[in-house]
Amino acid sequence: MKINVGFLVAYDYELLKISIPLVYKHATTITLAIDSSRQTWSRNTFQINALFFEWLKAYDIDNKIDIYEDDFYDATINAMQNETRERNMLAKRMGDGICIQIDADEYFVDFEGFTKYLKKNDHLLSRKKPIQICAFMIDVYKILEDGILYCPTYTNYYLGSTKANYVRGRKNKNQQKWYVPFISVHQSWGRDEEELKFKLNNWGHKEDFDVDTFFEFRNL
């Protein structure tokens, strides 16, 4: 069974130094999608320090990492549609096998156990009808000087598919959901104010809520 992992690479690329090592050993391949013009889904720009690519080269001792650069911004569609478009392009590049897409700020707990669980359930995943793999995450809300605030309940999220066909973000069309007992720690809101504002003004959900109103609430 091929268990291929894809990451979207943008302004928070440094977090991949945490998230890639958590999956590297037990992933079949790892594909990194990077916009060739260094544009976000909202057409803002970002930079990636050359030292990051040196780190990737040094870390990739098993030659698993494929850097996929393409034009992932389309001016005729909105941010979420651009995200969905990029995820489909990335899935195609990843090729045959289980398609697992992880964001840079999602830190998978026990990826080894997860891969063993998938292989144990090969009879389910090898069926002709595609399966949407769902897992759970803990969201970090704010990092303080003396600790971390996090959401006390798990949230479920779309993690992978036996045949990716994204219609919104990582949600696949007409696929049976299969929930697996594994979690990720989602750094999400746990950034300094400048980084968080840039994220919220450039991610796929930017039009789902008012960013300024959220910051007024968060800083109460």
With a cut of 70, say whether residue 205 has pLDDT above it.
no
Q: Is 7 exposed, middle or buried (0-12, 13-18, 19+ CB in 10 A)?
A: buried
Render the burial of 93-119: b for 16+ CB within 10 Å, e for the rest. Answer: bbeeebbbbbbbbbbbeebeebbeebe
Class of domain 3-218: alpha beta
Could you tell me the residue ranges of all domains in the chain? 3-218
For residue 187, the model assigns a pLDDT of: 86
At 27, is the pLDDT very low, low, confident or very high (cuts 50, 70, 90)? very high
Measured between alpha carbons, how far is 31 from 6 in angstroms, rounded to an integer? 5
Share of the chain above pLDDT 70, in %: 86
For residue 123, the model assigns a pLDDT of: 93
pLDDT in tens, 61-87: 999 999 999 999 999 999 899 999 999
Q: Which residue matches tokens 């156990």?
A: 113
At 202, is the pLDDT very low, low, confident or very high (cuts 50, 70, 90)? low
At 178, is the pLDDT very low, low, confident or very high (cuts 50, 70, 90)? very high
Largest CA distance in the chain: 51
At 103, is the pLDDT very low, low, confident or very high (cuts 50, 70, 90)? very high
Give the predicted TM-score (pTM) of the model.
0.89
For residue 203, the model assigns a pLDDT of: 60
